[in-house]
Amino acid sequence: MMYILIWRPTVLGSVWAFFKMHAYTVGEYIGFENFEKVLTSAKFALVLKNTVVWTLYVVILSTVLGFILALLLNNEFKGRKIARAIVVFPWATTLVIQASVWKFIINIDYGSLNTLLKTLGIIEANINWTPTPEAFFAWEIACGIFVTIPFVCFTTLSGLQSIDASFYEAATVDGANYWQKLFKITVPLVKPSLTVATVLNIIYVFNSFPIVWTITKGDPASRTDTLVTYLYKLAFYNGKQGEAAAVSVIGFCILLICATVYMVSTLKKGED
């Protein structure tokens, strides 16, 4: 099963990047020509920039907010189980549904955001929340953060619950305040869980397709495209399977380098 779903597509995609493709039929070997076409394309630099911005914003903000939320949910309070169930709901719902809801919310004509603000008397006329491609992309990032927070939250929460309460009791006896406990006990002990969550987050977010595709399909003129939606268009809209395979190889290499550097740097800090 792993061969069919993972290894075979990975190997074929890597091989196709070095051949001229004719409607999914492998043609002659052309070396790095597909890579050259991709890297010299006017759109690729913009798409790569979008991918970096998308990944950084979603991963960093979802990690920070997810960690804060995990700290709150780790406390004892009435209705904690209900709160945890509510938090996990966005993660349990498919990304296509989530993105469709967000697209409905910000619609200028019938979006629920305009309807709510008009009902509250805050605005009189509908506001165009997406006047530019950059604004559309910002909303896509917001949606990505929203659906990623639960994953970080519950991964971190599992780490928080494994911390022995005696550490905090000893710190209290020594006169440590909340922030000293947080940065001297909580953060160091929960770092392994945060590291795993961050690495997986980088992979998931970098390869995320449904949110961008559902809201904008990368339009207009690929100004909201990421590498994943861009290679999808190359393969299935433009019939350039070889170039699409080259983009996938480039994306894989970028992801491998980033994940490796993050893991190595984190482990070194942990050893120090």
What pLDDT digit, counting tens, does each position of 113-125 carry? Answer: 999 999 999 998 9
Q: Which pLDDT does position 192 carry in this prediction?
A: 84
More confident residue, 165 or 22: 165
| pLDDT of 6 over the 70 cut | no
Give me 167's structure tokens: 């550490």
Give me 255's structure tokens: 């992801």
Q: Over 1-69, what HEC string results?
A: CHHHHHHHHHHHHHHHCCEEEECCEEEEECCCHHHHHHHCCHHHHHHHHHHHHHHHHHHHHHHHHHHHH
In this prediction, residues 76-80 reach a mean pLDDT of 86
CA angle 27, 255, 12 (to 5 degrees): 25
Which residues, including other chains, have CB under 8 Å from residue 78's CB and lie 6 or more apart? none
What pLDDT digit, counting tens, does each position of 16-43 carry? Answer: 788 887 766 777 888 899 899 999 998 9
- Half-sphere exposure of residue 189, counting CA atoms within 13 Å on the CB side? 16
> Percentage of the chain surpassing pLDDT 90?
52
What pLDDT digit, counting tens, does each position of 41-75 carry? Answer: 989 999 999 999 999 999 999 999 999 999 999 98
DSSP 8-state secondary structure symbol assigned to residue 125? S
What pLDDT digit, counting tens, does each position of 202-215 carry? Answer: 989 999 999 999 99
Q: Which among 52, 68, 70 is positioned nearest to 141, based on CA atoms?
A: 52
* CA dist., res. 113 & res. 96, Å (int): 19
| pLDDT of 267 over the 70 cut | no
Q: Which pLDDT does position 101 carry in this prediction?
A: 94
Q: What is the mean pLDDT of the chain?
A: 88
In this prediction, residues 254-268 reach a mean pLDDT of 80
In this prediction, residues 172-196 reach a mean pLDDT of 89
Q: Which pLDDT does position 199 carry in this prediction?
A: 86
State CA 16 to chain mean position distance: 27
Which residues, including other chains, have CB under 8 Å from residue 101's CB and lie 6 or more apart? none
* CA dist., res. 223 & res. 144, Å (int): 17
Q: Which pLDDT does position 31 carry in this prediction?
A: 87
Residue pair 53/60 in contact by the 8 Å Cβ criterion: no
Q: Which pLDDT does position 270 carry in this prediction?
A: 57
| pLDDT of 5 over the 70 cut | no
DSSP 8-state secondary structure symbol assigned to residue 272? -
